[in-house]
Structure 1
Amino acid sequence: MSPVPKITVTIITLNEEGNISACLESVKWADEIIVSDSGSIDKTKAICRGYGAKVFDDSWNGYGKQKNLCARRAANLWVLNVDADERITPELKDEIFNALSSDSFDGYFIPRKNFFGNTWVKHCGWYPDYNLRLYRTDKGAFSERRVHEAVIVNGQRAYLKNPLSHHTYKDTEDYLKRMERYSTLSAEELFNNGKKATIADIYLRPAFTFFKMYLLKLGFLDGRTGFLLSRLYARYTFEKYSKLKKLQNTAHTA
C-alpha cells in the first residue's frame, strides 16, 4: 500500500459558533483546514483560527462556488469537504486513510447519518444519503449551483461504508428558518433556468412529496419524526413552486 497522501479539509461558514468546534475537533487530524467565511458576526472565525485553520473572508457567491473557492486554495491534491454541522467519526477517518493509501480511485461517496434534533432519521430518504465529499482536485469540483450543489468527478469513484454524522436541524423552527432561504434560492435557480411553475407543481407536488417520503421511503418507520419531516418537506415543495410562480408573474408584468 502507498503512503497516505496529505488531505485538506474545506468548510464554508456563516455564524456557526454553535457547531464549528465539534466539526473542527473531528477533523483536527487533517494536514490543512481551509475555511471560507461569508460574514460571520459571532465567534466562528476565532474558533476556526484556534484550531489552526486558514480563514478567508469571502463574499457570498452560492454554495457550489464557495466550496470550489475553498478547494482552489488547498495545498494538497485530496480535499475532504465537510459542513459545519457535520462530524467525521474516528471509524470514518481510519477508512479514509485506508482508502487513500490504496490509490485506486479519484473520488469517494460518504454516507451521512442525519439527525433531526437528537433523533437519527433512518428512513424518509435520509439514510444512507451518500454524498461525494472526498476527491482529487485535479479530477473533480462542485457544480456551481446556488443550492443543492454536488461534486462531479471525472474519474473512478467508490463508496465508503462508515458514515459521517450530520446534525442538520435542531428543531422545527430551525427547519422553517432555513426552508425560507433554501426555497427562495431553489425558486430563483429554477426561474433562471427557464422553468415554469404550474398549478400541479404548487398543489400536487407537495402531496406527492409527502407520499414519497412517508410511504415510499418508509418514513412511517421513523414515527412522529418521520411524519413531521414528510410534512415539512411537503411545505418546502409548496413554498419553492409558489415562489417560482411569483417570479414568473413579476417578470410577466414588468
Structure 2
Amino acid sequence: MAKLPLSVCFISFNEEANMEKTLKSVADIASEIIVVDSRSTDKTVQIAEKFGAKVYSEDWKGFEKQKNSALEKCSQPWILSLDCDEVPDDALRHSIVGAVLSGACGGYVLSRRTFYAGKFLRFSWQPDRRLRLVKASAKPEWRGGDVHEYLHIEGETGRLEGELQHYSYKDIEDHMHRLVKYARLSAEMYRKNGRKMSFGRLIFNPPAAFLKKYILRLGFLDGFRGFLAAFSSLLYVFLKYVFLWELEMKNRDS
C-alpha cells in the first residue's frame, strides 16, 4: 500500500508496553510519524525509532500543550492524532485511507472502544467518539486543559466506520491509580476556574454518575466489568470534589 500524505502524532512517556502494537498499525499508511516524548526511561524511544518515527524529547507541559507541540511538528496535509494505547482496527484503517484520499471533510470523528480486564466492553464508556483525523489546513488545536482536552478544527467534520481499540489500563490497580490522578487534576481545574466545593454535589453527583453509566448507558450488560466501570465513575466524581475541598482548606489555612 502506498503511504498517504498523513502524519501520525503521539505524546509518550514509558509506553513500551503499547508502542509497538500501535505503531505497527499505522506505519504502512503514514508518511510521517511524530512522537513527543516526556523523557521516557524505558524502551519507548527505541521502539518509536525502529518504526522510523521522528522523536522529540521535551519536558512535560500538560496534556493540552504537549499534544499541541506534537501537532505543530507534523508536515503532511493530513494529521492523525493518537494515544500510544490506541490501535485502529482493519475497518478503521480502511476508512482512514478513504477519507484522506477523498478529502471530503476538514476532520473525522473516530469511535473508540475500551479493552478492560481482558475483554472489549460493548456498552460501558459508550459512545466514545473522538475527533482525531484532521486536515492541517483546518487549523487543528487541542483545547480544554489537562483533563478533558479535545481537538478543535475549523470546518465540517464527518464520521468514520471502524473502531479505535483502546488498551487503556494494564489492570485494575493501574485503573485506580489513573482515576485518582485525573480526579486530582479535575479538582485543580475546578479550583483554577473558580468553582466551589458543594456538599450537595458531593452527595448526589457520584451516585448519579454510577446510575448513568450502569443503567442508562446499559453498562450492566457488560457484567462485572460494567459494574467496575460504572463504580469507577462514581469514585472519580466523589474524589474530585473531595480533592477540591482539600484545596480550599489548604488555601484557607495559608
State the TM bucket, normalised to the shorter chain: over 0.9
TM-score of the superposition, structure 2-length normalised?
0.95
Aligned to 1:21: 20
Is there any run of 5+ residues in structure 1 with no aligned partner, and where? none
Query: Shift of residue 4 of structure 1?
Result: 8.5
Amino acid at match of 1:163: E
How many residues align? The count is 251
In the TM superposition, residue 46 of structure 1 has moved relative to its aligned partner by: 0.8
Identical columns (%):
36
1:6 is aligned to 5
Q: How does 1:26-65 map to 2 (within 5 A)?
A: 26-29=25-28, 30-65=30-65
Give the aligned partner of residue 129 of structure 1: 128
C-alpha RMSD of matched pairs (Å): 1.5
Higher mean C-alpha displacement, 10-19 vs 128-137: 128-137
Matches within 5 A, 1:111-130: 111-124=111-124, 126-130=125-129
| One-letter code aligned to 1:48 | A
- State the alpha-carbon separation in 2 of the partners of residues 191 and 57 from structure 1: 31
Question: Does the CA contact (< 8 Å) of 2:38 and 2:60 recur in 1?
Answer: yes
TM-score by length of 1: 0.95
* 8 Å Cα contact 1:86/1:167 also seen in 2: yes
In structure 2, the residue matched to 1:85 is 85
How far 1:134 moved relative to its partner? 0.5
State yes or no: 1:180 paired with 2:199. Answer: no
1:167-221 C-alpha deviation (Å, 9 max, x unpaired)? 1123211101111211111111111011112112222211111111111111111
**Judging changes above 3 Å, is the alpha-carbon distance between structure 1 residues 4 and 52 closer, same or farther for their aligned structure 2 residues?**
closer
Q: Does the Cα contact within 8 Å between 2:90 and 2:162 map onto a contact in 1?
A: no
Partner of 1:206: 206
Aligned to 1:110: 110
C-alpha separation between the residues in 1 aligned to 2:59 and 2:187? 21
Q: Which runs of 5+ in 2 are unaligned?
A: none
